[in-house]
């Protein structure tokens, strides 16, 4: 009986979680003007997606979002991995002080960084540019913390063996540390990509023309301009979650392994 109750509760919770997504997709395929009509007789159409992509510039917004999310996630994960290797396996002046100072910075609300970041970007004349959206968020303290804890589990004997074979620090990082850290690196990359893909406030500040709008900014502007176009809004919202869904499908094995793995596999 206990198992039956658990299954029933799980199914109910699953339906509650999936209902908004199902309703979003259902509305996205409806003809214009039938967004609030619950009836299968309204029919289905792909015209909403065509209009959103080509008539309302969402194809451009997708390109901008992909460029920002891809390069931000790639470089922030790379820098965090390199720093994690240094903090986990190297000794240098004020190592612990620097590490815990970085960790302490996570307690500062992110909104407090917006003004100094804006001043820097404005002085560098990076407003309305890709570098203005990407560079200020390349430092990822959360990723540094997770990767450092994982890197500490890598046996020192592997690094010593690589040094005896004449490997440089760069080769040790690329061919010894990084392959062993792939699960957690993939996890950090996925989280970074998701954050930058859905980042709204900073991209809204930097993007001053619709030419540089990303998907979150373009979606917000579209909703403000078409408050009653529910079918088009749902079509745009449905498209906005596709890249994250695809990325998670292909990286879910590494993501789950990175979350659950506490030591290096032998």
* 67 or 246, higher pLDDT: 67
Mean pLDDT of 203-231: 87
Q: Are residues 31 and 85 in the same domain?
A: no
Integer Cα distance of 141 and 102 in angstroms:
6
Percent of the chain with pLDDT over 70: 94
Q: What is the pLDDT of residues 80-122, one digit of tens each?
A: 999 999 999 999 899 999 999 999 998 988 888 899 999 999 9
Q: Are residues 112 and 162 in the same domain?
A: yes
Q: Are residues 112 and 213 in the same domain?
A: yes
pTM of the predicted structure, to 2 decimals: 0.84
- Angle at Cα 45 formed by Cα 40 and Cα 46, nearest 5°? 145
Q: Are residues 3 and 81 in the same domain?
A: no
Return the C-alpha torsion angle 53, 59, 61, 66, nearest 10.
130
Average pLDDT, the chain: 87
> What is the tally of structural domains in the chain?
2
Q: Are residues 27 and 78 in the same domain?
A: no
Q: Are residues 50 and 158 in the same domain?
A: yes
**pLDDT of the residue at 109:** 87
**pLDDT of the residue at 85:** 93
Q: What is the pLDDT of residues 157-175, one digit of tens each?
A: 889 998 988 888 899 999 9
Q: What is the pLDDT of residues 179-200, one digit of tens each?
A: 888 888 988 998 899 999 999 9
Range of the domain at 157: 46-260
Select from 175, 157, 151, 167 the least CA-distant residue to 89. 151
Q: What is the pLDDT of residues 37-69, one digit of tens each?
A: 777 677 788 888 988 888 888 999 999 999 999
Q: What is the pLDDT of residues 216-226, one digit of tens each?
A: 999 888 888 77
Q: What is the CATH number of the domain that holds 120?
A: 1.10.3720.10
Block residue for tokens 């979606």? 219
The answer as to whether 265 is a domain residue is no
Q: Are residues 60 and 17 in the same domain?
A: no
- Angle at Cα 69 formed by Cα 68 and Cα 71, nearest 5°? 70
Q: Cβ-count burial of 211 within 10 angstroms (0-12 exposed, 13-18 middle, 19+ buried)?
A: exposed
**pLDDT of the residue at 244:** 83
Q: Are residues 9 and 81 in the same domain?
A: no
Q: What is the pLDDT of residues 118-143, one digit of tens each?
A: 999 999 999 999 999 999 999 899 99
**pLDDT of the residue at 245:** 82
* 82 or 250, higher pLDDT: 82
Integer Cα distance of 89 and 158 in angstroms:
11
The answer as to whether 266 is a domain residue is no
**pLDDT of the residue at 261:** 55
Q: Are residues 111 and 19 in the same domain?
A: no
**pLDDT of the residue at 260:** 57
Q: Are residues 109 and 69 in the same domain?
A: yes
The answer as to whether 177 is a domain residue is yes
Q: Which of 179-188, 222-231, 238-247 has the lowest mean pLDDT?
A: 222-231
Mean pLDDT of 26-43: 79
Q: Are residues 186 and 246 in the same domain?
A: yes
Q: Are residues 5 and 108 in the same domain?
A: no
The answer as to whether 205 is a domain residue is yes
Report whether 118 contacts 82 (CB < 8 A). Answer: no
């Amino acid at each position: 009986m206990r198992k039956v109750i658990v299954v029933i509760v799980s199914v109910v919770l699953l339906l509650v979680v999936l209902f908004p997504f199902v309703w979003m997709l259902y509305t996205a395929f409806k003809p214009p003007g039938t967004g609030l009509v619950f009836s299968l007789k309204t029919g289905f159409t792909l015209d909403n997606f065509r209009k959103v992509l080509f008539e309302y510039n969402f194809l451009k917004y997708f390109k901008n979002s992909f460029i920002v999310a891809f390069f931000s996630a790639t470089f922030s994960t790379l820098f965090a991995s390199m720093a994690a290797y240094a903090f986990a396996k190297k000794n240098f002046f004020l190592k612990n002080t620097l590490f815990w100072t970085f960790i302490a910075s996570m307690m500062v609300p992110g909104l407090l960084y917006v003004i100094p970041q804006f001043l820097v970007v404005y002085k560098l004349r990076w407003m309305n540019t890709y570098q203005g959206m990407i560079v200020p968020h390349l430092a990822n303290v959360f990723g540094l913390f997770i990767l450092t804890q994982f890197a500490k589990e890598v046996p020192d004997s592997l690094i010593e063996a690589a040094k005896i074979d004449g490997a440089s620090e760069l080769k040790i990082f690329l061919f010894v540390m990084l392959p062993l850290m792939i699960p957690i690196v993939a996890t950090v990359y996925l989280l970074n990509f998701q954050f930058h893909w859905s980042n709204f406030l900073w991209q809204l500040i930097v993007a001053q023309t619709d030419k540089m709008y990303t998907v979150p900014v373009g979606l917000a502007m579209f909703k403000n301009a078409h408050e009653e176009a529910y079918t088009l809004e749902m079509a745009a919202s449905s498209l906005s979650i596709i890249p994250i869904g695809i990325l998670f499908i292909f990286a879910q094995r590494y993501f789950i392994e990175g979350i659950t793995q506490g030591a290096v596999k032998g």
